[in-house]
Structure 1
Amino acid sequence: MTKILLFDALREATDEEMAKDPCVLVIGEDVGHYGGSYKVTKGLHAKYGDLRILDTPIAENSFTGMAIGAAMTGLRPIVEGMNMSFLLLAFNQISNNAGMLRYTSGGNFKIPLVIRGPGGVGRQLGAEHSQRLEAYFQAIPGLKIVACSTPYNAKGLLKSAIRDDNPVIFFEHVLLYNLQENIPDNEYTLPLDKAELVREGKDITILTYSRMRHHVIQAVDVLAKEDYDPEVIDLISLKPLDIETICKSIKKTHLVIIVEECMKTAGIGAELIAQINENAFDELDAPIVRLSSQDIPTPYNGSLEKATVIHPQQIVTAVKDMVSIKV
């Protein structure tokens, strides 16, 4: 085991897959000589050269379209968005090309493409750099969507995403890059369609992902000292949702809280509620509670920004209120 930062885990995954498969390449702004805006590709340009670590102009629609074309011809491009918000400029390419071409070609083309980069609410990055785009992409047919949350799952999931023959949107939270964790020295991969049972419990099921996993863990540490026993599931796969793991937990606890950084209106939590109601409605002892971000552009002001997202004390209060139903 080696203690490693999350951005180093992503770099290791990229490096290992590039060394293993000459078809893997990286495309994006400042990914080469500069080493990426958050240093995920640091040192790779010197190792692999201009043709496999491609610095691009500031033209997301163009280089994303180029990457999709490269994937159609058998390469395995990794597109880095300097900030995932910028990839809204390539929404047409992602939705009408990446998501559709395998289907509209009758299976004649595969699209082994990874689109990855930082997103989420940072620390005073402003509205345009603090967007939560998971729900934007969730509605696009043909995509897989993954949100990493630890160095361990970041490395294993990115390696699996690079090897997958379908387009994968890979979300990294801007505030988790410096998170440290011991990860195995030997090679490993993780499934792209499975949630992680972070903590077993019997009182209530907490569903979360990305940075909010860590807010939930802080809340659970407080709750455990007061004899509450929550079960925590990190969704990881946002499309498809691992409804089997989710329903298995609900059948045990019968209560659900969703903690997300996504907006409440039409967010990931909204889709979760729909699928839980379809698959496990009779197991619920109370309506599902959503703790979501405010439906506003993220303010630049630090105090206002903090007020838009969910914090551990809010989770503690919500769990206590819901578990009291059982008493």
Structure 2
Amino acid sequence: MRRSQFDYHSYRGRKTASFWLKWIALVLAILVVLAVAFLLWGQQYISYTDNGLRVNFPFSDHESKDPDVGNLDVIDQEPGDGSGDTSDQGDTSQEQQPQEKTSSKAINASLSAILDGSAAQLVQEQGADSVVVDMKNDQGQLGWKSQQSLASAVQSEAQDDQVNEKLKSWNEGDVYTVARMSCFRDEAVGGQMAYTLQTTSGYRWKDGDGMHWSDPSNQKVQDYLIGLMTELAQMGFDEIVLDHCGYPTQADGLLSNIEYGSQQVSQVMNDFLAKAAKALEPYGTTLSLEVSQEQISGQDGNSGLTAQNINQYGQRLWISGEEQAVLSTLTGAGVENPQQKLVLYVQQFSSNSTVSQARLS
């Protein structure tokens, strides 16, 4: 017995190196056996992938997360096309396209009804889809605050300082709105000697109703009117129809004493309408003319409007008369697409009409 410092215990002797070598050899033999068994038994669960060796044990989720390239559909798609739909889209003519307004029904609305919004109810009640509002009447009074230097007369309903903003707000709505302008029949500007249509004796000419007209050949007058049209377009009006656009006609009174000047009346109107069309083009505003059958047919050429300039610049033509007779006159004058251009003045809307109609008081 060998005693330690604190106690005694039996002495069993030191373990030799051969003892440890035997144990190491035994452990290695067991590991080799296990490795061989694993290779034989687990071979079906071992796969080689691009990412290295993969072992799928039967008790784990054995579905491979790598796609089976043999079952993939290859999609050949243009860069930047995020739709992912490369199927045949079919006939493009079947795609929905915006339709042009082929016919309409217009009623007259007062400026006050436009400003307070009640014109929308009038449109619905009367079975219409458009309104016409007098934005420059025969007196030369405007329905808005204009920045033009010759603007001097304003309609009573347009005294509101917010009138322009209210008109813009209305025009942002769904109702198609036409601004009527009396061009050269204008008591406010035509009554001024510097801009009036004169007689051969140098006096201010008056029509049968005692109204003065501004001179169509006066460049300041033309610039004034085109400036007004531009302001209306900027406020969002869909269409501008020009009434009394030209020199007075036979229906307006005695014409023999008018001083026309050296320039041909048709050339005066050609130049004016060309400038008006160019001014409205950026806004997409329709330029229309209120004309008579006599002007179109050439029986009354005193105004300067001819079948040629009417056809060229009048996107829509507002005319009184019987429908078939008016269409026949337009066709005979060579007006293109007469059914699409015509707006016929009527007493009552007709469901059988093939053209646009306007019922105005």
Q: TM-score range by the shorter chain?
A: under 0.3
Q: TM-score, normalized by length of structure 2? A: 0.24
Which has the larger share of helix?
1
Higher-RCO chain (CA-CA 8 Å, sequence separation at least 6)? 1
Q: TM-score, normalized by length of structure 1? A: 0.25
